Every structure is written in structure tokens, then in C-alpha cells.
């Protein structure tokens, strides 16, 4: 039916804005973008898309958001980088209302496909104590001991998606995102993640002439970082697949935070004096994505080199800072 919509919840955010842009590039016309933020705070907003400012924690607004919906992407959550999620556990937990009410509305209107953006924060903390971490397999989420607050919400919402599929027939698909980064995202204000924060700090140090950088933690903690283009490709492939269980969506290129700073310094053509804030939030000591399952199911895994993605991200953030 021509009235049926593809709805992106969290469309005013970083990943949601890129997803809307990608769907438009594919020639898809009947799009609705929903976000709680005022329109002037959306990262990307398009005049040919139906844009709604709604609080999706409320059941009645979820009904409005999903009116005539055929496909739903739930990227909406109250979240940010480690500094935000460690200090706002209740706010992160309240995102459970978003996914629950969206699933109830999806059931009511007969949504065909429902994508849920989960997180690598669901994984058991005991398996992430060593910076030389063994890559996390999907089964490593249980027995459950996820990131307090944010991780528990994501794990619970995965279960909700599963049971709505089993009990009500909604074709839910779930991906566990591993640290998505790229242009058109948060780079200041407290919600930014490590790639954007490091870019901002290096740019500001270079511009100010004060060639110093503060690093949260000891710099030895390790992560993998997935460029936004890989994320979008994975989301579309997983949504349209027969993969019923939550699956990793992340790069397997493991780096320490010190190595991430090395990369950005190299892009900027500068070396900075490093100080380490051992009292700052730093999360688990090590986290990486085991991509065995996604390779098995899709014959693909995220493959944009960190150096290449960070260069694009650095130049975008640089332009934003210079023009502000």
C-alpha cells in the first residue's frame, strides 16, 4: 500500500540520520523520521521526509509514530559515551519504555519487520577484564552481567523483541552495535564517544597551541570501532535476513585508546603530551567483536579500516569546530 511507511525512530540522532539519508539514496520515498529532540538539534533532517518530534517513552505517541508503518527501525534511546552512561543509569534504563511501547504499537498496526539496535554493552563484564580480550561471541551475553543500567536495558529489550516474535509473529531483528562512529554525530557536550572525543581534543590542542591531551583511564583499555557506512550496510542486511537471534555488528579491528590517539595525531600531523585521568569513567578493560556468525550468515563483516574512517570523522569535526 502506498500509505505504508518506513519509520526510523531516533531519526534525529547520529545513526538514525545516516539511515534516513541512506534510505533516501535508495530511492525510498515514504519515510517517517521520529525523534524527541527539537528539529534544530537533529543531526540530519530532510524536507522530503515526514519528520515528527515525539517522546517515544509514551504509549500514545508510539501509536502516532507507527501509524500505517510497515517497517520500523528502533534506534531511539537516551544514551551517550561512557561518561554519560556511567552517570545516568536510571535515564538509560528508562529507554525500556521506548522499545516496549513501540513493540506494542507495532503489534497493533501489523508491522512486518522491526529492527532493534542493541549494544555490545550487553556482554558479561567478567569476559572483558583483560585489555587483550578474547573477541566476544553472541553466547557471551549469558550468564548475564551486562553494563549496569544501559546494558541491562538493552539485554531486557532483546528478550522483549524475541518474545513479541515468538508470541505475536512480529519479525524482529536485533544487532549488537560495537562503538559506531563517523561524521554528523556528537563530538562535545558529554554524550560523545571516544573516537569523536579524541578528534575534538586533538583539534582543540592543535588550534590552541597547547599541545596536551587528557585521556580517560590509563589508555590501555581496548575497543573496536565501526564506521557508520558499515553499520548501515549491516543494519539493512540483518533486517532483511532470517537471523532471529541478536548478532554482533562491529569491526574486529581491536585497538587501545592510546593507539586511537596515535591514529588521530597522525591524521592531524601533531604529537601531544598525554595525561591520564584514572578517576574518569572508562568502562570495561577490553571489548572486541567476534564476527564468526555474521560471516556465516551474510558472507560479510564490517571492513572499513579505522584509519580511513577516522580521517573522514576528523575532518568533519574539524570543519564544525572551525565554523562554530
- The one catalytic residue in 73, 123, 150, 181 is 150
> Checking DSSP bridges between strand 50-53 and strand 171-177, what pairing results, if any?
unpaired
First-to-final CA distance of the chain:
44
Give the 3-state secondary structure of residue 72.
strand
Question: Which segments of the chain does DSSP mark as H helices, in order?
Answer: 14-25, 59-65, 82-85, 89-93, 96-109, 150-168, 194-208, 228-239, 257-268, 292-298, 306-323
Strand partners, 8: 33, 73
CA distance 70 to 170: 11
Torsion angle of alpha carbons 306, 308, 309, 314, nearest 10°? 110
Catalytic site residue 150?
yes
Tell me which residue of 238, 122, 93, 232 sits closest to 172, measured CA to CA: 238
- Which residues are part of the catalytic machinery? 150
Amino acid at each position: 500500500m502506498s500509505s505504508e511507511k518506513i519509520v526510523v525512530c531516533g531519526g534525529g540522532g547520529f545513526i538514525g540520520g545516516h539511515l534516513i539519508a541512506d534510505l533516501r539514496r535508495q530511492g525510498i520515498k515514504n519515510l517517517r523520521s521520529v525523534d524527541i529532540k527539537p528539529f534544530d538539534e537533529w543531526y540530519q533532517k530532510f524536507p522530503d521526509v515526514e519528520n515528527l518530534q515525539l517522546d517515544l517513552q509514551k504509549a500514545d505517541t508510539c501509536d502516532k509514530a507507527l501509524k500505517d508503518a510497515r517497517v520500523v527501525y528502533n534506534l531511539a534511546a537516551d544514551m551517550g559515551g561512557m561518561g554519560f552512561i556511567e552517570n545516568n543509569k536510571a535515564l538509560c534504563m528508562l529507554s525500556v519504555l521506548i522499545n516496549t511501547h513501540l513493540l506494542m504499537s507495532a503489534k497493533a498496526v501489523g508491522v512486518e519487520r522491526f529492527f532493534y539496535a542493541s549494544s555490545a554493552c550487553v556482554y558479561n563484564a567478567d569476559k572483558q577484564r583483560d585489555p587483550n580480550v578474547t573477541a566476544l561471541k553472541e553466547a557471551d551475553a549469558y550468564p548475564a552481567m551486562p553494563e549496569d543500567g544501559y546494558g541491562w536495558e538493552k539485554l531486557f529489550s532483546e528478550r522483549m523483541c524475541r518474545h513479541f516474535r515468538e508470541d505475536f509473529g512480529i519479525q524482529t531483528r536485533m544487532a549488537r552495535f560495537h562503538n559506531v562512529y563517523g561524521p554528523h554525530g556528537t563530538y562535545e557536550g558529554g554524550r560523545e564517544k571516544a573516537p569523536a572525543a579524541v578528534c575534538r581534543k586533538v583539534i582543540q590542542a592543535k588550534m590552541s597551541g597547547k599541545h596536551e591531551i587528557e585521556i580517560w583511564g590509563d589508555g590501555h583499555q581496548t575497543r573496536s570501532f565501526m564506521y557508520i557506512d558499515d553499520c548501515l550496510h549491516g543494519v539493512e542486511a540483518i533486517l532483511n535476513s532470517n537471523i532471529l537471534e541478536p548478532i554482533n555488528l562491529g569491526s574486529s579491528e581491536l585497538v587501545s585508546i592510546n593507539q586511537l590517539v596515535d591514529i588521530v595525531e597522525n591524521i592531524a600531523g601533531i604529537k601531544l603530551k598525554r595525561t591520564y585521568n584514572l578517576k574518569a569513567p572508562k568502562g570495561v578493560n577490553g571489548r572486541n567483536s567476534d564476527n564468526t556468525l555474521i560471516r556465516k550468515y551474510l558472507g560479510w563483516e564490517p571492513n572499513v579500516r579505522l584509519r580511513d574512517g577516522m580521517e573522514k570523522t576528523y575532518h568533519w569535526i574539524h570543519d564544525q569546530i572551525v565554523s562554530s
